[in-house]
Amino acid sequence: MSIASCKGKFVRVEARNPATVCCDEALLACALQCVGVKEHPLLQFEIATEEIAGAEVIFWRWLFQAQSACGTYQTSDLVKWWSDEAWIAANPSHEWAVLSKGLRSMAEIARRIRETVPRVIVRRGDLLAVIPANLSDARREHLLGQLDGRISMDTPFVEPGA
């Protein structure tokens, strides 16, 4: 499915069931605004739901002017370049390429933050353990028991009830 479509004097950018505010379509909308492409004066951002083939689908929709306010860019060109890795690589100093790379880097950082499991650092004198925060209570107790010397380091962990 295309990220955007032309409707006469306007270009629609639409995210279907977006998983995050940093989805590609939202980043494109942000980039368009950064280079001076204005949203439709009356039909600005909306969130809509539709039933398609018996399933609810959430849409985020933006409707943008066909060109930037200063007349420098055609929105359809910007949308085409957004998904064109070859164009971005061939034009690394172009403001659109810089925006695209910067916003996609932001999305990657946001993804890594969301997916990274926090760790708990536990110190016992000179000993240190770094334990994932999402461990079961039994697994955490086993690791802390090893750190405290209550459980031998070579004692394998067995999940209770397994």
Mean pLDDT of 20-40: 94
* 57 SS3 class: strand
Residue 52 has pLDDT above 70, yes or no: yes
Q: Where are the beta strands (DSSP E) in the chain?
A: 4-7, 10-16, 46-52, 55-65, 119-124, 127-132
Q: What is the pLDDT of residue 1?
A: 38
With CA atoms as reference, report the closest residue to 12 among 35, 36, 46, 52.
46
* Of the listed ranges 48-57, 103-112, 119-128, the one predicted with least confidence: 119-128
Cα angle 131-19-77, degrees, rounded to a multiple of 5: 130
Instruction: Return the pLDDT at 2.
Output: 52
What span, in angstroms and rounded, lies between the C-alpha atoms of 158 and 162? Answer: 7
pLDDT tens, residue by residue, 66-75:
999 999 999 9
Indicate left, alpha or beta for 17 from its phi (over 0: left) and psi (-120 to 50: alpha): left
Determine contact, residues 32/64, Cβ cutoff 8 Å.
yes
